[in-house]
Amino acid sequence: MNNIDYIGFDVHKKSISYCAKTADGEIRDQGKVAATQQALSQWVARRPRPWQGAMEATLFTGWIYDFLKPQAVELEVGHPAMLRAIAAAKHSNDSLDAKRIADLLRAHRLPGCYMAPAGYRELRRVLRFRNLLVRQSVKLKNRMAGMLMETGVEYNKERLHHKKYFRELLGTLSETPPSVVGLLKWSRKAVEMFESSQRQLLAGLRRHGALKERVARLTTIPGVGEVTALTWALEVVEPERFASIRRAVSYCGLCSGQQSSAGVDYRGPLSKQRNKHLQSVRIEAAKLAPRWNAELKRVHERELTRGNRNRATLAVARKLVAYLLAVDRRGRPFAEGASPSSSESSLPQPPDAVKALR
């Protein structure tokens, strides 16, 4: 394998440091290149030999990965949490970090992480932005209610954000400071803009051909709505990458971290090593799903007798993950009474929608 260079990249906003090594660790060349497509094209054209590359997952990794992958024999992305040895090193700079990544790559010790196909990452960006708009809308609604309470205005909280009631309420604020009235009007316009925009983004995702069939299949699970199904499809992408339900539950952040020493196991709070987008949506869905799903209602009631309400919500969320994983991997609608097993490794692969977006 001495005819292949192993290149480590240390990626930043404006520059990319690199170090190319042979299989036996000899440095062939190293340096820095501007983080632009033109500079990377010129750098690739100067490479004298085939190469494999690796970089740490950062905010800037996506477009660099997509640009360099067709040019490389193989290109990998390292898991940031697993590469802490770089940050903990006594001496650390861009050049040394690139060398360490190259060493991990050539020794086949790079802790890799999953990179979704580019098409799915584009759709996922849209969904995450839609969720951001929803959060901002909720914050503004809460702030509007807070301003009314600060000034002693009585209002109906169930109807506050209805157009007609809000317009009537503004007409009764003659004793309210003008600054509050102006802020309420501005906030109302912003809320309407956020809600209109998020509906448009959601409609675009709903009509997307690669997602339509998959989302329809996932929503056959009682208690799973459109946003829950979309979040699962776009954050998980390829369900076969989870060897078991336990791994999927861990990825969703619905289990605690475990530390074991001298035969003593210690369980902490919910682990922070998770997909936070999946976690938040699963928890929200688990609070409502028992109303529509009899099996989830039984799970919720059983766990309530053993612990507090949060424990019951987590149990429902884990059961939802099991249902979603089973339906997604089998490629068939949900069947009432079909119990997902703890391991789905023998199930068929999902439809070709994932491959179509590569």
Looking up tokens 């190259």 gives 102
Beta strands in the chain (DSSP E): 5-11, 15-21, 27-34, 51-56, 74-78, 256-261, 264-270
Would the pLDDT of 329 be above 50? Answer: yes
pLDDT in tens, 19-59: 999 999 999 999 999 999 999 999 999 999 999 999 999 99
- Classify 248 as helix, strand or coil: helix
pLDDT at 348: 39
pLDDT in tens, 88-136: 767 788 999 999 999 999 999 999 999 999 999 999 999 999 999 999 9
Question: For residue 115, what are its two tokens?
Answer: 């990179």
Mean pLDDT across the stretch 335-342?
Answer: 64
pLDDT in tens, 252-310: 999 887 777 777 887 778 888 899 999 999 999 999 999 999 999 999 999 999 878 99
pLDDT at 81: 85
Q: Is the dihedral of CA 115, 117, 120, 126 positive or negative?
A: positive
Beta strands in 62-120 (DSSP E): 74-78
pTM: 0.87
Distance, in Å, from the CA atom of 29 to the CA atom of 95, rounded to the nearest integer, reads 11
pLDDT at 338: 63
pLDDT in tens, 156-212: 999 999 999 999 999 999 999 999 999 999 999 999 999 999 999 999 999 998 899
Q: Are 105 and 76 in contact (CB under 8 A)?
A: yes
